[in-house]
Amino acid sequence: MPTVNLNRHEVEKLVGKKLELEALKDRISMLGTDLDDITDDEIIVEIFPNRPDMLSEQGFARALSSFIGVKTGLKEFKIVKSKNKVIAEKSLPKEWPYCFACIVKNLKFDSEKIIQVVQIQEKLGVSLLRNRKKGGIGLYPLEKIKFPVRFVGMNPDEIRFRPLEYPDEITGREILSKHPKGKTYGKICESWSKFPVFMDSNNVIMSMPPIINSHDVGKIDETTKDVFVEITGNDLETVKKALIIMATALSDMGGTVYSLENIDQKNDSLQFPDLMPEKMKLNLDYANKMLGLDLKENEIKTLLERMGYNYSKGTVEIPAYRADILHEIDLIEDIAIAYGYENFKEEIPDVSTIGEESQITKFKRKVAEILIGLELIECSSFHLSNQITLNEKMNSKNKLITVESAVNTDYDTLRNSLIPNLMEILSRNKRYEYPQNIFEIGTVFEEGDTETGIKESESLSVLKCGKEVNFTGIKQVLDVIMNSLEIEYEIEEISHPWFIAGRSGEILVNKKRIGVLGEINPEVLTNWRLEMPASVLELNIGSLSFLEKDKI
């Protein structure tokens, strides 16, 4: 969780009410943040990843003021329409296609305000934008830019400008090896054939996202009054939310936000940012059931207003800057926060049970201990993935289960195997020394004859990667597992797009298929940009558990 150091005087000024120290500590802790310390000048808090809108003095004060009842309900932000344009061109790298921008005028920067702006840039970059892997933020003095602004892709060696706080002009490729920010974040784009850059209508390079701004046109100071703000990245909704959070923080600093005509690669135009609230239905009976309360509609309305919402006749208006409200249950969580967790009464369930670990949990721990004994590192990945990871990069055409109305294209598909997830982990850790030997035990999903139409099963996957890795090495791991469990097995050769022909097989126990193993196909390794050979095995751990139970 990102820790932010907030100017206490600024927060209290924006809140509109000064609380006694103990009351301030209590309310901050109950708001849903982890309070580290409060001094005369600072409030130091850890902001949970689901509330990136609270990473600035302005966003934090907005939430706190509403929570303590000073400025309740939905805050309205004024947007002025501008005729200026930002154009995303087709030359952009496919890894970084999205950009949204706006203008904020009439700001009064001083050294403290600049520190605040830099902090929210950095903290949004760490949290919502995942260490810039999902997006980057740039601010520029407006007077140094001539519209329309273009977002284009260029050959890294043809990009040439003076990066922020650097003495000389250097190329895009040199920025990755010479500039401090390039050394820190260069891994994000070093393999791209083109790097994205912002250029104004005079062909002046403004920045190279997500790495660094130009020193000449991308540095704000105490004389800056009007700014151009851009967010770029690879996830459309995340980029939009990041710009909204940045724009509302600058608005609360006293700025006037101007929307721009944002034109994407398909030549579709969108006037953005749009700060109109989203709407979501709330079932009051369901809310009370989840909370174990009996709140009336007017009570729920009051509680929602204390969390910055508007409510009317079963419909909640959600602030545009709230990136975490995805489902009705998220609204109910905020009702609980406003009600006060300290006000819930403890109840002992009217049941009598004895807790015990399930058989499968014990078995999974036993298998994990075997693999840890072989000096493998255990990993844990998300149940949700995407079709590029599960099919495209694995040279597969498997039928996958997608999530309806997914809010993030990186996580819109239920995984059908653990092997692609381990390949992704491996590809993100190429900078570490080899061999890299990892495993995961987790749930995989496929279509099945169940109430939901989805069948879940527990799977084990092992991946070895290094110069000496081959089929024999991964089979030795399988031998250790099966010998430790005293289960006999056979291997039957198969042809599979993941594996090298003649170096893969099905794992059979009592003529029943329980898994696969093999050496990864070089084409798949290339898709993942891996330069070392790799071999894998995957087993249905649930079937193994029952086999061991039957043997006993």
- Specify the CATH number for the domain of residue 28: 3.30.56.10
Chain CA centroid to CA 18, Å: 35
- pLDDT interval class at 19 (50, 70, 90): confident
Mean pLDDT of 473-496: 93
Quick one: pLDDT at residue 548?
A: 63
Residue 331 to residue 281: CA distance in whole angstroms: 10
Spatial neighbors of 426 by CB under 8 A, at least 6 apart, are: 436, 438, 463, 465, 528, 530, 534
Higher pLDDT, 546 or 353: 353
Tell whether 25 is covered by a domain: yes
Q: What is the DSSP letter of 382?
A: -
Q: Per residue in 199-230, is it b (16+ CB within 10 Å) or e — as a string?
A: bbeeebbbbbbbbbbbbebbebeeebebbbbb
Q: Where does a domain end: 241, 272, 303?
A: 272
Average pLDDT, the chain: 93
> pLDDT by residue (tens digit) across 42-73?
999 999 888 999 999 999 999 999 999 999 99
* CB crowding 110-130: b at 16 or more within 10 Å, else e: eeebeebbebbbebbbbbbbe
Same domain, 369 and 417: yes
Residue at a domain's end among 67, 88, 120: 67
Residue 220 domain-assigned? Answer: yes
Q: How many domains does the chain have?
A: 4
Examine the domain organization and report whether 44 and 106 are in the same domain: no
Would you say 506 and 515 are in contact if contact means Cβ atoms under 8 Å apart?
A: yes
Q: Are residue 284 and residue 259 in the same domain, yes or no?
A: no
pLDDT at residue 409, rounded to an integer:
79
Query: How confident is the model at residue 49, as a pLDDT?
Result: 86
Domain end call among 216, 250, 272: 272
Residue 513 lies in a domain: yes
Q: 133-171 b/e with 16+ CB inside 10 Å = b?
A: bbbbbbbbbbebbebebbbbbbebeebebbbbebeeebb
Residues 183 and 299 in one domain: no
Residue among 544, 547, 537 nearest 418 (CA): 537
User: Which element (helix H / strand E) includes 257?
Assistant: strand 256-263
Higher pLDDT, 409 or 110: 110
Question: Which domain CATH number covers 138?
Answer: 3.50.40.10
pLDDT digits (tens, 9 = 90+) for 83-123: 999 999 999 999 999 999 999 999 999 999 999 999 999 99
**Strand pairing category for 149-154 and 79-88:** parallel
Strand order through the sheet with 401-402: 384-385, 413-414, 401-402
What pLDDT, on the 0 to 100 scale, is given for residue 48? 87
Give the model confidence (pLDDT) of 176-225 as tens digits: 999 999 999 999 999 999 999 999 999 999 999 999 999 999 999 999 99
Res. 537 pLDDT band, cuts 50 70 90 = very high
Q: Are residues 90 and 221 in the same domain?
A: yes
Q: How confident is the model at residue 406 (pLDDT cuts 50, 70, 90)?
A: confident
Q: Does 241 share its domain with 377?
A: no
My answer on whether 405 and 534 are in the same domain is yes
In a domain? residue 363: yes
The answer to whether residues 49 and 120 belong to one domain is: no
CA 235/CA 530 separation, integer angstroms: 24
Instruction: Give the number of other CB atoms < 10 A from CB of residue 339.
Output: 18
Average pLDDT value for residue range 280-299: 95
Q: Examine residue 347 and state whether it is found in any structural domain, yes or no.
A: no
pLDDT of residue 543: 82
Structure tokens at 199: 């250029």
Residue 334 domain boundaries: 278-340
Contact 385, 440 (CB under 8 A): no
Is 239 found in the same domain as 187?
yes
Q: Residue 451's pLDDT is what?
A: 78
**More confident: 546 or 441:** 441
Does one domain contain both 25 and 43? yes
Q: What is the DSSP letter of 189?
A: T
Residue 527 has pLDDT above 90, yes or no: yes
**How far, in Å, CA of 240 to CA of 125, rounded?**
14
Under the banding of pLDDT at 50, 70 and 90, the label for residue 552 is very low
If you average pLDDT over residues 313-320, what whole number do you get?
96
pLDDT tens-digit series, residues 216-227 = 999 999 999 999
- Kindly report which listed range (77-81, 252-256, 345-349, 423-427) carries the lowest average pLDDT score: 345-349
Give mean pLDDT, residues 304-318. 96
Share of the chain above pLDDT 70, in %: 98
Asked, for residue 354, whether it belongs to a domain, the answer is no
Is residue 89 domain-shared with residue 26, that is, in the same domain? no
Question: Which region among 40-49, 330-339, 539-548 has the lowest average model confidence (pLDDT)?
Answer: 539-548
Predicted local confidence at residue 493, as pLDDT: 92
- The position carrying tokens 């002009």 is 169
Considering the domain architecture, whether residues 13 and 129 belong to the same structural domain is answered as: no
Least confident of 136-150, 293-307, 407-421: 407-421
Q: Please give the average per-residue pLDDT across 392-396, as a whole number.
A: 93
Phi, psi (degrees; rounded to nearest 5) at 122? -65, -45
pLDDT of residue 549 exceeding 70, the answer is no
